[in-house]
Amino acid sequence: MLEQIPFSNLLLYPPSLCMLLLVCAVLAALTQRKQVAITLTAVGLVWVLLWSLPVTTLYFGGKLESRYPFQLPENLSQGDVIVVLGGNTQANRANWFEPFNRATATDRVDRAAALYFAGRAPKILLSGGAYEGRVSEAQGMAKVLRQKGIPDSALILEKESRNTHENTVMTQIALNNPAHQKILLVTSALHMPRALASFQKQGMSALPAGVAPQISLPDDYALNPWLPHTRSLEASRTIIKEYFGLLGYWFRGWI
């Protein structure tokens, strides 16, 4: 699940941080601190250039996505419950460097349905509160699963959590006795390291069952990983945020 902290998320976006540093550089120049102004300007511009390169996205995003390789449903262990964390990653693109295509989208709900119909677990717990309005992410995901033919009796809704740590805590409450239940955890490949560590930290028996990786070079058109690309900048915020999330969760003792 993607925590929403608007101001901090804004600063994690390289162009936004660059603009802030440039403003600070102007202020430094106005106060006759030339060396400080030059340093701030250089850092801001280099930071944007670095994250505009696909090779940066491929390396740092790929490091997280490759921690738990994608597996077909039939190759996963049997579980007691499929836990799906709310939140979208890059509009569910099958590949972050390609435009959104519904036919190839990698959706967490679709993954949960595939696991259920493959007989991997008899129950699906949907975890996610409402950021705006009264409809929670859990309710929205449940609606899609019902349309796919999954009965209400198989669905458990956790409608209060607003971040990954709360996903973990609220899931424990919803499952009542999670220590004796094997969880198949569904989230994005990028988010899986932090999410899985959070569940395991709380003593739950969770196994990675996430969607396929989304960060790779496209096959259908040429993309030079060493030349700036707008999609790299768009993807950078989520990748940077995930690394800071891991650090923050470790510092708080949540993983």
**Residue range 51-77, pLDDT digits in tens:** 999 999 999 999 999 999 999 999 999
Q: Is 206 helix (H, G, I), strand (E, B) or coil?
A: strand
pLDDT beyond 90 at 105: no
Report percent pLDDT > 90 for the chain: 68
- Averaged over 102-128, what is the pLDDT? 89
Residue closest to 80 by CA, chosen among 202, 170, 210, 183: 183
Residues 6+ apart with CB under 8 A from 124: 81, 82, 83, 84, 112, 116, 145, 150, 154, 155, 156
What pLDDT score was predicted for residue 216?
85
Give CA–CA dist 240/60, Å, rounded.
9
Residues 6+ apart with CB under 8 A from 226: 53, 54, 55
The better pLDDT of the pair 33, 101 is held by: 33
Among the ranges given (38-52, 70-84, 89-103, 116-130), the one the predictor scored with the smallest mean pLDDT: 89-103
Q: Where are the domains of the chain?
A: 63-215+247-252
- Averaged over 194-200, what is the pLDDT? 96
What pLDDT score was predicted for residue 201?
94
Helix (H) or strand (E) holding 42: helix 34-52
pLDDT beyond 50 at 4: no
Q: Is 85 helix (H, G, I), strand (E, B) or coil?
A: strand
What pLDDT score was predicted for residue 75?
94
**Res. 90 pLDDT band, cuts 50 70 90:** low
Is the domain 63-215+247-252 a CATH 3.20.20.140 member? no
pLDDT in tens, 121-140: 999 999 998 877 788 889 99
pLDDT beyond 50 at 5: no
